[in-house]
Amino acid sequence: MIDLEIPKKFVPLVKQAGSMADEVFRPVSRKYDLAEHTYPAELDLVSALIDGMTDSGASNGAGAAGSTRAKDGTDQAPASTDADEATGVTKPASGKKAGKGNKNGANMSSALSIMQTCRGDVGLTLSIPRQGLGNAAIAAVANDEQKERYGNRWAAMAITEPDTGSDSGNIRTTATKDGDEYVLNGEKIFVTSGERAELVVVWATLDRSLGKKAIKSFVVERSNPGLKLVRLEHKLGIRASDTAAFVLEDCRVPANDLLGDPEIRTEGGFGGAMQTFDNTRPLVAAMAVGLTRACLDFTRTALEKAGHGQDWDAPVAAQTYASARLVQMEADYESALLLTLRAAWMADNGKPNSMEASMAKAKAGRTCVNVALQCVELVGVDGYAESELLEKWARDAKILDIFEGTQQIQLLVVARRLLGLTSGQLK
């Protein structure tokens, strides 16, 4: 069972992340929302702090770079996976045992810290050096040598293509073996931190005719001449975070920069690639949970000032309309929080969590959007004007329901798991 109190070893981490949100992120949040594409210099100090905590062991791997999957009850090394072709469920590879007992490790600490920093600003959280989603991808599937080599570098993740949105199994970017190198050709869009990162984890297919079974991920140096920055996107929200579009033209990558197993295994299918999502989707859910918390706290304070304080002992029907809606939103928040904690806990304990990760992402993403917009309505002028951050939070919320797989894709994944159907049987 999950102990729903924050583990004692994570209490200092959560407090520090909360202080970072309140004292560092919120004061500059509007500044970098207006100065889109400008690198937040304040993050250099934040990054140094995280590095120091990681080196000391105090953070237990907090942040995207630390999230990985437990092989057993004693560490968080990533286990390779076999995908069950009948159900699409990702399970521990042969000979690997799921975690014993109850372990709270790097995935839980990452989720808890991200919830706090996203109370301050989602875009700034995404912009912290060496804490990109590409780092989580490396942690999920890289071998020990690769993790050592890439460990202290900032990595973005490039999945989405112009004709391939959430259908990652239909990736068109190709990787052709040429001696000791792979040659990558294709186009990637909506790459978070693509301009600022030192590395880009690019998803490509070794053989289009084999579909998702042949999809692998490659670590590409940002300075690689074959990786060409096309543009930076102007966005609705998370403007502090740069979002890039790239073209790969005969981009040559050393063979040892292919993450994980280079073999195309028909029985393994998409397992290695999907394990990346199993790690990153709970982190995106945690972002949504943190932003939801910020919206609710602001709205409760505003309602109390207006004389609509909450009476938690009174039934919903006996409260004002505004207070009743706030109670309902709090219930949705708690649901999203618990689903997120469960998905992170399962990863820490070596349990297959593909369905739970999608459940958390779907619930938290949709809850964040709904709560943010309802809070804007309840607060009125202060919710719509730039005088308060609630207006910005409402814009930031939408991306959390989209990236790392849209709401619709998450529900499709959950349905396949529940019904025991493959992607070919349920589209």
For residues 109 and 406, give the distance between their C-alpha atoms in angstroms, rounded to a whole number.
25
Distances (CA, A) of 96 to 44, 144, 308: 39, 17, 54
Residue type, position 125, single letter: T
What is the chain's Cα-based Rg? Answer: 21
Q: Which two tokens stand for residue 207?
A: 């053989």
Instruction: Name, in order, each residue with C-beta under 8 angstroms of 379's C-beta and a sequence gap of 6 or more.
Output: 298, 299, 302, 303, 388, 390
Instruction: Name, in order, each residue with C-beta under 8 angstroms of 149's C-beta and a sequence gap of 6 or more.
Output: none
Distances (CA, A) of 26 to 32, 124, 219, 305: 10, 10, 33, 21
For residues 136 and 305, give the distance between their C-alpha atoms in angstroms, rounded to a whole number.
42
List 161, 187, 391, 404, catalytic entry: 404
404 is catalytic: yes
For residues 27 and 42, give the distance between their C-alpha atoms in angstroms, rounded to a whole number.
11
How many Cα atoms occupy the beta-carbon half-sphere of 261 within 13 Å? 19
| Pairing verdict, β 199-205 and 215-221 | antiparallel
Active site residues: 404
